[in-house]
Amino acid sequence: MGEQATYVESGKEFTRDMNYIPDRITATPGVSADPLDETADRGSARIDVPTWPVEPGRYRLVAAKACPWANRSLIVRNLLGLQDVVSVGMPGPTHDARSWTFDLDEGGVDPVLGIERLQQAYFARYPDYPRGITVPAIVDVPTGRVVTNDFPWITHDFYFEWREHHRADAPDLWPVEQREEMERVMRRVFTEVNNGVYRCGFAGSQEAYNDAYDRLWTALDWLEDRLRGRTYLMGENLTEADIRLFTTLVRFDAVYHGHFKANRNKLTEMPNLWRYAKHLYNIPEFGSTVDFDQIKEHYYVVHRDVNPSGIVPKGPDLSVWTA
């Protein structure tokens, strides 16, 4: 694989770098179609980052099935029916310190972008790009340049900005009447669960790990209680909040429980969360984006400072997801 990346900083807690390429693809230049866009002036909905035009066929979503942040973009694309509007390229499950690579494609080259490494699309726009080469990323096919890798905004804008191209029965992933509460739920899910498992796995000290572990399980217990008597996080309708939680839950027993030491108990031992996660998995637009072999290979092979041997465990039994 070449040069290995490192993820654990000795003596420190894990802090995620949230500095991404801020560009957005919008239906109207410089304007958000979301009336509650937090970066906008509520009166005019102007946004202060570079924008690109909504244009079917112009962009390619690069999203590895192994990555939870990319996984959510694949699910949203499926649910909204954007498969023929925004194409998708899928890197393999492993990468080195430089970049994700297209080793699942013939000749190791993305058939649309004609590149071996996602890094090439980043460097085509920023020759000295200083940060990690992350997925999901949207690439402008005509120029081969990366547009954005800002994963929360990618799915947000798939919903609000590409609405003209949604399928007729696309779900309302951002219901206005629940928006305020949903934003609070998503914020806690991100900080305490999506990022919480990484805070456990990449802790650089016992103290940092203990704190991360306690925070994670406090949040999971809250979610277990919240889902008592509910089909989804916001009630009886599927929303973006469910997509964001699902991508962590579906990886929990396979990698986070053991590899990241989030091991108080398994997901399958939490009845409400397990019922909920399995229900989502069996929705085709969700389950079709999950590849447990790729997920396990990614975490156990790439994170060599956490798993120096690179050995991928055979367990756990993942047939329970479809049983």
Alpha-carbon torsion 101, 131, 260, 153, what sign?
Answer: negative
Report the distance separating Cα 173 and Cα 159, nearest Å.
7
First-last CA distance in the chain: 36
Whether omega for the bond prior to residue 50 falls within 30 degrees of 0, making it cis, is no
Sort residue 61 into left (φ over 0), alpha (ψ -120 to 50) or beta. beta
List 59, 122, 159, 198, catalytic entry: 198
Q: In what order do the strands lie in the sheet with 87-89?
A: 87-89, 59-62, 137-140, 145-148
Active-site residue 200, yes or no? no
Report the distance separating Cα 150 and Cα 54, nearest Å.
17
- Which helix (H) or strand (E) segment holds residue 26: the answer is strand 24-26
Which tokens sit at 238? 């599927």
262: nearest Cα among 207, 193, 188, 186? 193
Active-site residue 198, yes or no? yes
DSSP 2: -
Q: Give me the DSSP letters along 51-103.
A: EEE--TTSEEEE--TT-HHHHHHHHHHHHHT-TTTSEEE---S-B-SS-BB-T
- Which helix (H) or strand (E) segment holds residue 137: the answer is strand 137-140
List, by residue number, the catalytic residues: 67, 198
